Amino acid sequence: MKSSAQNGAFFLSPKPAILVLENGLIFEGNAFGAYGTTSGELCFNTGMVGYQEILTDPSYCGQVVTMTYPHIGNYGINANYSESKSIQVSGFIVKEGSQHPSNYLSQSSITEYLEQHNIVGIQNLDTRAITRVIRAEGSMNAIISSEILDYKILKKQLQTIPSMEGLNLIERVTCSKIYKYSKPKKTLFKIVAIDFGIKTNILRLLKKQGCEITVVPATITSDEIQKINPDGIFLSNGPGDPAAALDAIKCIQSLIGNYPIFGICLGHQILALALGAKTFKLKYGHRGCNHPVKNLETGKVEITSQNHGFAVSKDNIPSNIKITHINLNDDTVAGISCSNIKAFSIQYHPESCPGPNDSQYLFDHFIQLMQREKNNG
């Protein structure tokens, strides 16, 4: 790699990189992060901050994420901000990545962070133009490379990438064995959290509520959960097509009515499928920190953090399911409940990270459900 000098300061000349979209569009830029080639479903996130939480959110497994905000990495990287143990995205696209973060808590730059985790990215291209393409034409696969600059070769590789529809990605992000999350100072409830790709801040908030949490793999059976004998069951966020998670749906069907259940994101979709509803793929998904959702029970509008490419269908929804929340951007289902079986779920992320805290009351609701069940028992 060549170096250049300007005003007495030396810097490395950027390596070229290329982004090829499934529709044939080609964007030229510069390498960002690790050197190599990567691919996945192309999506965009409109958040101005929270890039580390986005990178480490397991719900992004198998996706190439485009950030619409033009300058990413300003405040660097800190291990305490991660939502899992490693970066989960397949690739990362930014207008400009900051090489010199300004934050006393920063432990490294975003470029160093991507390199450490071998994540291929691209920068110095128009991310808002890419976003307009996704919004107009819908989700599509994409490939980034800083080692292969022949777009014809990359187009051929693109043809081998599977569609997100029908794809079960849970096995790539779930834990391999049962473990206990750190205990609260005072245990009020014992819960099982089924890990479809659980975010760390969800565990923090449940612990804060006095929950002793047993985190279990997505492959667990209903019989194994019953042996643990929890006060409630939490269904986590995660990646992929919920309709492809057949074993998880079957497991939840066996547990419905026996325990209070709270689901978030993929957990919400799996609960809905277990109750007899259907899911569908959104044109380009909801990903950002400022999505308005209306609580139909209170009439209040909450500003929410969202990250999903599928949604629960309103069509032929079973009579036992009550729609409790609606996304005001496109009127899709954002929350459901079934009071007779002590279950409710939310399509968005009340735990935020990144995003607002408007909806953290939902964790209180889960606690109230478990307390009510204890009182009745």
Q: Which residues are catalytic?
A: 265, 349, 351
In angstroms, the CA 94 to CA 90 distance is 14
In angstroms, the CA 30 to CA 56 distance is 23
Largest CA-CA distance found in the chain, in angstroms, rounded: 75
| Rounded alpha-carbon distances, angstroms, from residue 231 to 224, 235, 333, 350 | 14, 14, 27, 21
In angstroms, the CA 81 to CA 108 distance is 13
Token pair of 286, please? 């909801």
Residue 114 · residue 146 · CB < 8 Å = no
Q: Compute the half-sphere exposure of residue 188: CA atoms within 13 Å on the CB side of its CA.
A: 16
Token pair of 26, please? 């080609």
Token pair of 200, please? 């760390």
Residue 336 · residue 311 · CB < 8 Å = no
In angstroms, the CA 369 to CA 299 distance is 21
Residue 147 · residue 37 · CB < 8 Å = yes
Residue 247 · residue 223 · CB < 8 Å = no
What length does the chain have? 377
- The contacts of residue 193 (CB under 8 Å, 6+ apart) are 181, 202, 203, 206, 213, 214, 215, 216, 233, 234, 236
Closest CA to 338 of 257, 231, 281, 248: 257
- The contacts of residue 78 (CB under 8 Å, 6+ apart) are 52, 103, 105, 106, 107
